[in-house]
Amino acid sequence: MEQGPVKKVVLAYSGGLDTSVIVTWLRNVYNCEVICFTADLGQEDELDGLEEKAIKTGASKLYVRDLREEFLRDFVFPTLQAGAVYERVYLLGTSFARPLIAKHLVEIAEAEGADAIAHGCTGKGNDQVRFELTAMALNPKLRVIAPWREWDIRSREDAIAYAQEFNIPITSTLKSIYSRDRNIFHISHEGGPLEDPWNEPPEDMYQLSNSPQSAPDETEEITLSFEKGIPVALNGEALDPVTLFERLNKYGAKHGIGRVDMVENRLVGMKSHGVYETPGGTIVRAAHQALESLCLDKAVMHYKDFVAVKYAELVYNGQWYTRLREALDAFMQETQQTVTGDVRLKLYKGNIILAGRRSPYSLYREDYASFGHMDIYDQTDAEGFIHMLGLPMKVDALLSIDGTGKSRYRQPDYTRFKRD
């Protein structure tokens, strides 16, 4: 599609170094009006003074929307219900925030009559994909401007120099060595000493949680209650999603829970080393898994675990607004209809210790599982089951014995291990 002049652009704005520079750069390069949008996802003090900063930088106005509940309700909870975890440990805290931010970015652009949106994602990261795929799904007629793929700025030092040249008010200095993303679900850390995965993350890097070593020496017990796979109450008190997560974050942070150090495979093809703190989300995941162990039958649980990997991949890749994710969600929601009940957990020095779980829909029955005499399960039935299950192995062994005199598992080929 032919790219004409840009009259008005809506920028995803954090108030950090990059987006502060981008406001001025957009005005200088495109000679356009710049409107800023900030999503309040629970980054707390990072929101202080944003409007004044945006206006001073050259923006005509700033939108700030409190999206914390929508974030938890429509993005975090479905992903937790799905059991979606990227590459074994990443709970996707940044990944599912981007489609939500981009959704509102598009809405504001439409309301303002803007012809473009812009973001501050680099050309080697995942977030550029997440923003732009969402824009394609919701309004492909909007132009997307990605300054990091256009300008000559190549480093933090270059960005600071640009800010100084054009008198852009910033607080960043060359001493700010980490790149971070924070919301009510987690905080991520990249850069600085983390660029070498052999380095242990410095303790002063962490923002949300105590170290397990400095966490309290006593366990603390909590009870988390679920309705259809969604956490709804803590210690018997019904809570809205935001309040619930704020309290769970405090519990997890206090006890050093939710720290993850991983080298992940980025969508764009390279590996990156990052550290995540997800205190409340880690607690919810552990409790949810424990409750599912009671409420899901074997076939559903095993298949759910299988497709959860694909669900996580879609979220990580920014493919939230796709028919496949919606289809998987329909399956996941069906599996959660009986995931209701309470889970008792003990928190201790980075550990989540399961203390108990109960559900009115529990499939576990002591009278069915015991070794005593029962009318429902006749232990002699197991003989026929074993014969049927083992029939292929039995036939294979009989054929080997007829040919060689022994089962092939009784005569290993030692020549495979022979040394010259």
Mind telling me the catalytic residues? Answer: 18, 98, 127, 179
Side-by-side strand order, sheet with 237-238: 237-238, 230-234, 220-227, 341-348, 351-358
What is the CB neighbour count within 10 angstroms for residue 400?
16
Phi, psi of 247 (to 5 degrees): -70, -40
